[in-house]
Each structure stands twice: as C-alpha cells, then as structure tokens.
Structure 1
Amino acid sequence: MSDAGASDPNAVPATPESEPEPEPEAPPPAEEDNGHRAVSVGIIGAGWAGLAAASDLCDAGIEVTVYEASHTPGGRARRVDNHSNASVRPMDNGQHLMLGAYTQTLALMRRLGQNPDKLLRRIPLTLQALDGRFRLHAPRMNAPWHGVMALATAQGLGVGDRLKAIIGMARLRQRSWAVDNTHTVADLMRSLGQTPRSMQLLWEPLCLAALNTPATQASAVIFARVLRDSLDGATENSDLLIPRTDLSALWADAAVKRCNMRYGVKVQKLHLIEGGVAVETVTAEGVDYVGHDAVIVATPPSATRRMLADMQDVDYLLEQLNAFQYLPIATLNVRFASPVRLPLPMMMLHENPARQHLGQWVFDRGALLGLPPVNGEFTIVVSAREQLISLSREEVINGLLAQLGEQWAARSAKPLPAIAAYELFVDKRATFAAVRGLARPGVASPWERIMFAGDWTDTGYPSVLEGAVRSGVKAAQKTLSRLQ
C-alpha cells in the first residue's frame, strides 16, 4: 500500500549549454561555537529512509541537509494536497498498514516525541471479508498459541484447511522459519500442503499485503521472515497498526524541523572531492554544487542509478540497481453524502479481475481519523495488479465502486449512501517486486563517504515502511563509523 504520482520527482531539467558549470568544491567551512568545523552530511530524499537517517545523525550532533524534489516530507508515505473534496481532512498518496513488529519505526516515533499509542490505531490481527465469507482473529495469547487459535477458529475455511494451515506453520517454526531460497510463496505453501481454498482466502491476500507481490512471484524467504517476526515474537507483534493521522504528520513533520531542508531541489549527480562528496543540483537558476563530508542516497533505485552513472567501477552496482522490477498500487478515497461505517477499520475484498474488481482491502477512513458521524469516508486499495496499467482511470474507479457496492450488499440490506466525491491515486512503480533471488545492495557503497538508504537495500524485509526506517538507521550508523 503505497504512494502515487505519474511524474518522476527526480527528473532533472536540462542545463543550458552556454553556462559553464562550476567545479565541485570541498565541504564548506561551517563552524560550531568552539571554532571547529561542524561535520556535514547531505541526504538525498526526504522519504522514511532518508528522514530516519537524518534523525539519528541529528541526535549525534551532525549538521544535516536534506534535498527533496517535492515540497512535502514522507516520500511514498506522505500527505498530498486535496483538490477534489474527496476528504474533509488532508489525504495521503496511499494507504499504509503497519505491524506491531515494526519496532524501529515505533522507537523512532517515540524519539521524535510522537506518541504511537495516540497516532496509530492498534487492533489484534483480524482479517475479515466485507461480504462475510472469511474471518480470522488472533486472540490475546502468547506466541505461538495466538496464531494457532487464529487458524483453528478461522471462519470460511474447512476443518481440513485449518488443520493443514496449523501443521504448515508448525513445520516452519520447527525449521526456525528457514526456507528454500529458490521457492516462491506459492511453492512454499504447496510444500507445506496448503489447500487451494486457504491459498485463495488467506495466504495470497497476506502475501499481497506484506510483500505487494503475487504469491507466484514473491520470495518465500522474505515472506517467512515477515511471518516469523509477526507470529513468533511477542503477542503484540502481530497487531495491525493503522494511522489515525496523515502520513507526514505521523513523524516526518517532526523530523524535518531538525534539519536544513532544501525542498524543490533535484539532485543530478554526485562527485567525489577531497574530504567528501559534492552534490550537484539543477534548478531554474542553473547548476550548483554543495560539498559535504558524506552523503546518504535515499532515493529509489532508478534515481540512484542516474546519480551514480558517471562514477568509475560501478558496473556491478548499476546492474543490481537495474535489476529491480516494480509493481503498481492504486488507492481510491471515497467520501459519501451521508454517514456510513464499516464493521471494522480494515476489511478484505474479494477480487474478480475479469470484472475489473481489483480491490483487496477497504479502510474506514472516517472511523480511523475520528471524523464526525456526518462524514463517511472509505479507502480502497489495489496492490500489485498490473492490469491497472492498461485500464483508464474511469475503468479503475467504476470497477472498484461496483466491487465495493456488491460486497457491501452481501452483508447489509441497506445500500451504501450516495457518493459525494472521490479521488484516485495510481502509482505504476509504487514498490519493488520482492521476487526470489533478487540481489539487493547493502547500505555501504563502494565509496567511503557515500551510503545508501531505502527499503530496496538489503534489509531482509520487503518494500515496507519498517524496511525503509531500518535502512536509514543502519546508513546513519555506517556514516558515523566512517566519519570517525
């Protein structure tokens, strides 16, 4: 569940050929009160990875400058301007769901003075279909019994389906969640004896929610790691955490107050200079170079590849960055003309691609944001459906609204209220595909003073917000160790 935007925020305007480019300079001699030059780190990208790195560096007393092509912090999890009246509150570029196992994200929020208990709606793991065909609920029991009981009492699965699911998870746990790294999630579930019905109602939806990658393509290793962290740790690790505020307000707004922010600045290239790295930016005024002691590149692989293309001895790294494949996410926000609420804050939708019913989840935005009863707002999410790319916006919207109406009618004799407004966000390259065998770079680059951060680095997690935060924290730690 991710961000939207048809244009590339890192696209660089052409540089006028008539203007000579200035030479990169060494880091500027910024001074602290004691007369010593302050250590300067530039961070490219104000997404969750870049701002997590910035926060840790600020804690260490580093002077941090963040370059961000847009004008709002948060990257693919940020607030967007609402011009459609599809909500009475600020909207996001995508609906995000977190887990209680996202320990580093929760710790970062607390360090920034943001209270997760107030800003996130925490509910025990509950998966319930809007049309009533399926329900799974994890009781408050110690691991692994909360998972066992959730599977044993799942409604919509037969006795054989439930028994095989319990046995399959027990086998994984006995193996310490180690799986064949050549397997997809579909391969893994077949090897564990899972039934077609449990695949359709349970494992495939979970795989899409966790990895934003279809089970027939998704890495079994990454999926097993997510299952381990959520089902085999503390009971609260499997809780669902749903934001009660816009995503920038969750913690990004607090993080940027501590940094020197340069919004609307597109970074074109990096240059190695004596004692550090120069950031080359292009603006309407022309080319500019700013020197830093170190730089953390916290942009998507495609933008990172462009910035490094002129560096020497980078063929292998560029091949890694070029190997990433991307999958779309669509988010439809719907505001109703009269009050309406879902039975739960988040519910499952059943897909029917032939009818353009592509939604997998629906969120009760009105309930989550604490809107007055007069406001009914739902958010429908579509993950990893490449069919989105070939459909017009009208086809996507009509298909999702029809799907919502039909599955609502299956559980309620009262029809949905009339729709007052809606807004569709589609990001055709929302997340990388977490496929098997994907070689992901670490945070350390081949150059001493350049580090990487992003959910695409080798975090062990899929393209999720916790992976972004973990990579940012690790990149900050590596930067500090190299600056010593």
Structure 2
Amino acid sequence: MKLAVVGAGWAGLSAALTAWRLGHQVHVFESAPTLGGRARAVHAPTLDATIDNGQHILLGAYTATLALMRELGLDVNTLFHRLPLTVHSADGTLRLRAGRALPAPLHIAAALLAARGLRWPEKLAALRAVAALRGQGWRTPPGCTVQRWLERAQQPPRLCNLLWGPLCIATLNTPVEHACAQLFAHVLRDSLGAPDRSASDMLIPRCDLTALWPARVARLAAEAGASGDPGHASPTLEIRHPYTVRRLRHVSACGLALDDLPDRYDAVVVCANTPSTARLLATLPDCPGSTQFLADLDAFEHAPIATLTFQLAAPMHLPQPMLLLHEHRTRNHFGQWLFQGQDQEKRLLHVVVSDADALLAQERNAAVAGVVEQLREQLAMPMPEVSRHALIVEKRATFLARPGLRRPGNRTPWRGVWVAGDWTDTGYPAVLEGAVRSGRDAVLALTAAHETAVPRQEM
C-alpha cells in the first residue's frame, strides 16, 4: 500500500513507523520544521538555548512507547531517569516514594503508609480508595467526575488538595470537578494497580523530546530515501516538512490525493489535533456519518499548558528531578510541578502550569514574578537570582477530559481516511502513550481492512 500520514507528532510518527515496518510506502507531511508535534524541542531566543515546548514524563506502563523506542535501537535506560513512583513537594511537606523491595501492588501500599506529610486517616483513606477501585474492576459510575469519585470514596479534603488533585491535573490536565473519573481510573489501573512493579516507575527524559526518538525516525527516513530504488514499489519512508496539507480529495474509485500533489494514496492517516483534523476532513464531500463525525470533533474543548523556564545566575541542584509545587492562584502562584533542566550547568529550572488560562489572563511580568516568589517560598533551599526566563504556551496542549466526551475511533466515514491522536478513543487521557498507540492501531486496522477488501475487488 501507499500511505500518506499527515502530522509528524508522536501519533503520526508511530503510524509511519508501523506502516513502514509492514512493508508499505509511506509519505509523512508535517507543517512544522521540527518533528514531535506537541512534544518537541524548540529554540528559546531569550535563553539562547534549546528546550522542550513543555515538560513530559512517561510511566513504566507506557509499553507501546517503550517498545517503539527499543525497536528503533534506542537504550531507554540511558535516555531516561527511571525513578520509582515519587511525589516530593518542594517545601518538604509531602514525601511519598515507592520502594523496590516489595512486589506490586504492595509497594504502593507501603509507600502510602510510609509517606511523610500525610496523616494516618488520610493514608488509610487513600488505600481504601485504591482497593475499592481494584475490587470494582477499575470501573467508576457512568458520568462520574473525579471530584464525585473522591466524595464517594470519602477522601479527606486535605488529602485531595495534597495528592489526588495534583495527580489528576498532571494526568488529565482537567480540574477534579470536571475530570472524567473513568479515565483517571485507567491511569491508576495501569500504574498503581499493575502486576508489574516497574509499571508505576516514572521516566523523566535526560534529553530533549525531539532527540528522544523523533530525530531517530528522521535519520531512518533519510537512510531509507538514500537506499531506496525509485523504480520499485519497495517499502519507503519519506518525511516532507515543513509542508502544510490543506485539502484532501478522492481521485479515483479507491485513490486519495493531497492538495494538488501528483501522488495517489491508498489511504491517508490524519494525525493532527481535533481543530486541524476537522478543517482538513471538511474539505472532503459529505458522506453518511460525516456530519456527526465533524460535530464530535467540534465538541472537544482544549486547555493550554504553560512552561516557564528560568535561567539562574548560578547552578542549582534540586533534590529530585521533579518536585510538586503547591499552587495559590490568588497570589499568582501558578506553578504545579518543578523540573530540573537538562543542561549540564544545572542553571535551568522548568515550572509547569497545566490548565493555564488563569496564568495567561495575568499581565506577564506579574505572573512571572508570582511564580518566582512561589519558588523562593516553597523551595527548601536558597534559589540563585533569575537572570533570564522564557514562557512557552501550547494553547491546545490537551483536551479537557470530561465525562461523556465522544471520542472517535481510528476509522472515519470517508473512504480510505483514518485518524490518529491522543484524542481518539484510546482509553487514556491526552498522554503520549495514547498518541503512540493510536498511530499504531490506525495503521494495523487500515492494513487489515485493505487486505480483506482486495479479494472482493478482484472477483
């Protein structure tokens, strides 16, 4: 088959690699100059440095992503800081760390019981909540929000503020009062509730997100192009960027084309965010089910994630690569997580603000000053002066994971057109693992559909 993949984020690159390994001819189109989509490296002019457009961590439970990286010949042990599940607050008031001496899920129970900063009633309440979820097969009532689930599980308010709330906003980028409890339960199932203890491990990249594995795909594509024979329909992997696809069109009984380009494709996989995907699909003629499909895409609401990067006048070594911050938005203390930078000099700190509308509504200097004040108050160590800073905002970093949201599968109503992305029905919130799985699954499904359709066309 000859496939076009529109978008070279983690979903698009996963789709392209899967298709190429299955023996297809693959053309990837990406509008940005850098691969990786919403998880990529960018140049920050104010810092004169390359940093990520937002901080991401992976979990040991992200089996598809880790398998993909290993298939690319990458050593995940050197590319990540691998930590047991760890939640340490910058001010030292909360310290929770899973041990390695006990098997799963006892290691999580032991971590909760040994946690510093939680009271015994809070520890026992957290254990009861996780045990109840496990007993219910990790199912929550239909339409239930995380806040409602916490109320039903009789979780103390202080525990919700210290632990459950930050975990919810970190995984779903949606406040507890609006977040889907079932998606949150899926995350807990595959991390805290997994039979493999390493599933709950936290993997923090040691390099920028483009270098993590998208850059390796670009090298593979260059090598495939250099060794390929244009006269034969052998497996090819070609990445065309920057190029923005603006139109899809059917050109024959079973062919598709992009814009006015001459290539004809057996299938197209659109791997963009929902607004871009909807705009592109709307260039195709209506067909049965297409109106509802586009309406489902339009129903998605998005939330921004902001990352404030501070360059310090002197090195600073955090006690952990990632620290929890207590936010107080009325004081412009918007930071939720603090990350040690990847620079060798240890002069960069990254502050992540999920659901960042409140920060963006503030005057920039006031917002930055508030976060600096937050760090100085909460860090249990002196912080050097800030010499420069950069603010990076992904306005559509993720969708709001509300209960009842209709998330489509990979197949669309249009013949030969498929979609992939973390917003499809992956069973996960908007996380990198969902994107990787979606890209893989879209290509596996379209390949199976093509193989069953070909005999019928030949009869």
* Equivalent residues, number: 430
Aligned counterpart for 2:217 among listed residues 229, 247, 255: 255
- Given the alignment of the two structures, is residue 463 of structure 1 paired with residue 437 of structure 2, yes or no? no
Question: Are 2:211 and 1:211 equivalent residues in the alignment?
Answer: no
Structure whose residues are more often helix by fraction:
2
1:102 aligns with 2:62: yes
Letter in 2 for 1:387: A
Which residue in 2 is equivalent to 1:272?
Answer: 250
**1:20-35 alignment to 2 at 5 Å?**
none
CA distance in 1, matches of 2:116, 2:262: 61
Q: Does 1:384 align with 2:355?
A: yes
Q: Is the 8 A contact 2:323 2:338 kept in 1?
A: yes
**Following TM superposition, by how much is the alpha carbon of 1:275 offset from its aligned partner in structure 2, in angstroms?**
4.8
- Aligned match of 1:162: 123
What is the match of residue 75 of structure 2?
Answer: 115
Does the Cα contact within 8 Å between 1:98 and 1:240 map onto a contact in 2? yes
Report the Cα distance in structure 1 between the residues aligned to 2:135 and 2:251, rounded to whole angstroms. 52
Per-residue CA deviations over 1:74-100 (Å, capped at 9, x if unaligned) read 00001112322264xx21111111111
1:454 corresponds to which of 417, 421, 425: 421
Residues 94 and 330, structure 1, Cα contact 8 Å, conserved in 2: yes
Does structure 2 retain, via aligned residues, the 8 Å contact 1:269–1:307? yes
Contact preservation (8 Å) 2:38, 2:394: no
Q: How does 1:1-400 map to 2 (within 5 A)?
A: 39-85=1-47, 87=49, 90-140=50-100, 141-233=102-194, 234-256=196-218, 257-258=220-221, 259-281=237-259, 287-288=260-261, 290-310=263-283, 311-313=285-287, 314-366=290-342, 371-372=344-345, 375-400=346-371
Q: CA deviation at 1:319?
A: 0.8
Q: Deviations over 1:154-174 (max 9, x none)?
A: 221211111111111111111
1:291, CA displacement in angstroms?
2.0
What amino acid maps onto 2:133 in structure 1?
L
Q: Bigger shift: 255-264 or 178-187?
A: 255-264
Equivalent in the alignment of 1:13: none
The runs of at least 4 aligned residues of structure 1 exceeding 6 Å deviation read: none
Q: Distance in 2 between matches of 1:474 and 1:275?
A: 25
Aligned to 2:457: none
Separation in 1, partners of 2:443, 2:250: 19
Whichever residue aligns with residue 213 of structure 2, its letter is W
- Alpha-carbon distance between aligned partners in 2 of 1:402 and 1:365, rounded to the nearest angstrom: 19
Letter in 1 for 2:392: F
Identical-pair percentage: 42
Q: Deviations over 1:144-199 (max 9, x none)?
A: 11111121122212111111111111111111111112110011111111000110
Q: Is the 8 A contact 2:13 2:217 kept in 1?
A: yes
Give 1:328 deviation, angstroms: 1.0
CA contact (8 A) 1:278 1:289 kept: no
Instruction: Give the structure 2 partner of residue 440 of structure 1.
Output: 407
CA contact (8 A) 1:449 1:482 kept: no
In 1, distance between residues paired with 2:291 and 2:68?
35
* 8 Å Cα contact 1:68/1:265 also seen in 2: yes
Q: 1:94, 1:394 → 2: CA distance?
A: 20
The alignment partner of 2:245 has SS state of: strand
- Structure 1 residues 274 and 332: CA distance shift in structure 2, 3 A: same
1:14 is matched with which residue? none
Asked if the contact 2:2/2:266 (under 8 Å) is kept, the reply is yes
Q: Distance in 1 between matches of 2:299 and 2:146?
A: 20
Q: Secondary structure of the residue that 1:167 maps to in structure 2? A: helix
**Shift of the alpha carbon at 1:393?**
2.7
Q: Does 1:403 align with 2:363?
A: no
Q: Partner amino acid for 1:383?
A: S
2-side partners of 1:340 and 1:152: how far apart?
A: 31
Q: Runs of 5+ in structure 1 lacking a partner?
A: 1-38, 282-286
Q: What is the TM-score with the length of structure 1 in the denominator?
A: 0.86
CA distance in 1, matches of 2:356, 2:385: 28
Could you tell me whether the CA contact under 8 Å between 2:250 and 2:257 is conserved in 1?
no
Q: Which amino acid aligns with 1:235?
A: R
The runs of 5 or more residues in structure 2 that have no matched partner are 222-236, 452-459
Q: CA RMSD in A?
A: 1.4
Query: 2-side partners of 1:67 and 1:377: how far apart?
Result: 33
What is the rounded CA distance, in whole Å, between the counterparts of 2:399 and 2:247 in structure 1? 23
In 2, the alpha carbon distance for the partners of 1:54 and 1:114 equals 18
